[in-house]
Structure 1
């Protein structure tokens, strides 16, 4: 028998339940939706989670579409799933946990006696470190972003190559291979000996069907490559960026982009211009380095210094 919260499944079974992580302000217990898919045959364990940022819903869409397609009789190993991590933020469609105004994916490995976010992180981290592989489904919040997979442990980490291989297997087409901030699951997991990746499934308001299908196929690729299923998967070469440049606006106004997501840009290429409401140019921003136009804000209006876009740099093929 394998359990996660109240979900318990014998070999060849699937069960859903709740992982309790605290109480709401009226004393009602908070239970994260969880599933256990226990394969008929023994094998590795995969941990899969979504919505550690409450407005990043494409990962939830992946789980909603993927789990009904999984037959435990056809699986070797176990899949542990937390469908919604940031419970409070998900309820109000916000990025950060409104109970403690915290970004959940900066709190790992968590603290079971700490803040709301730290307690949720501790409970989900305990599940993640039971696994052989971890896939933490994200997206570029509500901004616009290419589909990519992040390796966040840093190139000198002992599990870097394992994480990079997992990202290649997932197969978004692009990999950001750059050490991430403290508190990310994709940082904390490798420290405990578990290869962990952070697929960023585009960026949108609500969810995007194409990005969701990319995520579903990515998880299926992982299941095939690591022996959970009888399917075969040969990883395709990915475009890897080891650098990531962010651009803010030097003036307030309205943004017009001169590059599309996924475009190759060269140094000094025009990325965007800022105009006033009458169309008069106030600033033109060019690329500092060659790379790929990676991410861009969704709304056209910006204040001085506000984030506008990002370019992935230091490119190679992996």
Structure 2
């Protein structure tokens, strides 16, 4: 009779804590708090930070010191039934049940405790088994396109139809975002300090907290960026194509060019890959702007990735494969003045072709900038005042994927 009742109950009801169908004492006694099931499409209440007492000299910080803050006004969640034990997802001191989505909060612990503001973390835990995908945006606080790419991607997921989990941190560098700055308050670039150091600089402490509390819980990572310093990037992946797993991973992104780059020490992509997490950087557009075309390209590519990884099942129409650029180089202005471009982002160019020119507004002299090789414009500066040495055009040289 009991199993006959189970067959007639909706899955979401079975996984809710409101139906005590199985004993819970063996797990509930040791489990973290259960995160509330939230429809991410609904408007959320304003989060309120919790003040934390500083650790004394003889008291070690709790490993769950960065646990999520409860949503004000929400009732206490009931413990989960024992039968979901093997499929719960524990993150930031909370258990996210199968078939649910929620908002958690990450606090790196670098601000004044009484004024601390938590960073929102969106989690969709699918009803079915699968990999854990992490999406990070605004590691540079002035890069806005990634914030909207993550929002649209996460809010479009149905946890009851998802295999695996998706964790989204739309705004990693919250202090930089609030100041419309690429950098942290200590003027450091956060994306040069991973995997971090718990006793290091401000940037190293934030990097360490993010890496240990969130990134290490994931199987795959897409770190979303834009161009910097008034430059724009064609939607593209930056990936170490000498890594077989990463190279295979890039094939899941529809209509996304790939630029081979091993990266440098301190980058989130490099640190995560070394930790065994398959990682790429997704570049789209320019900083300080919300660009619809770039956002659509990013959302489309992440949807195709999840379909490729068997996380979702949708009728998806793949476009023609984009090339891999194993060689790329920046062309720099040799004179100061005002840059005027003659080509568009994504244009295919030939060696010697005029890409634009720099005009001296006082002498009226004009200095053309020529393409250094055959290829495609995968990044470029927007028209602006430039000085000699300014990187103006990024040309990618097309190549076939090894083994094809």
Question: Which residues of 2 match residues 154-303 of structure 1 at below 5 A?
Answer: 155=242, 160-231=243-314, 236-277=320-361, 280-303=364-387
- TM-score, normalised via structure 2 length: 0.72
Residues 1:105 and 2:221 aligned together: no
- How far the C-alpha of 1:236 sits from its partner, in A, is 4.5
Query: What is the aligned length?
Result: 312
Q: CA separation in 1, counterparts of 2:236 and 2:261? A: 13
Measured in 2, the distance between the counterparts of 1:235 and 1:304 equals 40
Per-residue CA deviations over 1:75-99 (Å, capped at 9, x if unaligned) read 11111221211111111111111x2
Q: Tell me which of 106, 109, 126 is aligned to 1:22.
A: 109
C-alpha separation in 1, matches of 2:373 and 2:356: 15
Tell me, what secondary structure is at the counterpart of 2:376?
strand
Runs of 4+ in 1 over 4 A off after TM superposition: 232-236
Q: What does the per-residue CA deviation read over 1:243-287, in whole Å, with 9 as the maximum and x for residues that have no partner? A: 221122211111121222111112111122111115733422212
* CA distance 1:121–1:278, shift in 2 (3 Å): same
Q: Which has the larger radius of gyration?
A: 2
2:98 maps to 1:11? yes
In 2: Cα distance, 1:103 partner to 1:278 partner: 36
Structure 1 residue aligned with 2:34:
none
2:108 match: secondary structure: strand
Mark the CA change 1:230 to 1:146 in structure 2 (over 3 Å): closer, same or farther.
same
TM-score w.r.t. the length of structure 1 is 0.91
8 Å CA contact 1:154, 1:180 repeated in 2 = no
In structure 1, what is the Cα distance between the partners aligned to 2:357 and 2:202?
41
Greater RCO, CA 8 A, separation 6+: 1
How far the C-alpha of 1:173 sits from its partner, in A, is 2.8
Indicate conservation of the 8 Å contact 1:6/1:19, yes or no. no
Contact 1:224 1:232 in 2 (8 A): no
What's the offset of the Cα at 1:114? 2.0
Counterpart Cα distance in 1 of 2:328 and 2:177: 28
Q: Which runs of 5+ in 1 are unaligned?
A: none
Q: Is the 8 A contact 1:148 1:202 kept in 2?
A: no
Q: Which of the numbers 182, 201, 210 marks the counterpart of 1:115?
A: 201
**Cα–Cα, structure 1 residues 299 and 267, in superposed 2: closer, same or farther, change >3 Å?**
closer
In structure 2, C-alpha distance between the alignment counterparts of 1:299 and 1:110, rounded to whole Å:
37
Kindly report the root-mean-square deviation, in angstroms, between the aligned alpha carbons of the 2 structures: 2.1
* 1:125 corresponding residue in structure 2: 211
Is the contact between residue 132 and residue 164 of structure 2 (CA under 8 Å) also seen in structure 1? Answer: yes
The answer (yes or no) to whether the contact 1:168–1:235 under 8 Å persists in 2 is: no
Shift of 1:26: 7.4
Distance verdict in 2 for CA 1:7–1:270, change over 3 Å: farther
> 1:2 Cα deviation (Å)?
1.8
Q: What are the Cα deviations for residues 43-64 of structure 1, in whole angstroms up to 9, with x where unaligned? A: 1111111110111111100122
Structure-2 change in CA distance of 1:279 and 1:264 (3 Å): farther
Deviations 1:16-75 (A, max 9, x none): 021110233575224221022111111111111111011111110012222221111011
Is the alpha carbon distance of 1:28 and 1:204 closer, same or farther for their aligned partners in structure 2, counting shifts above 3 Å? closer
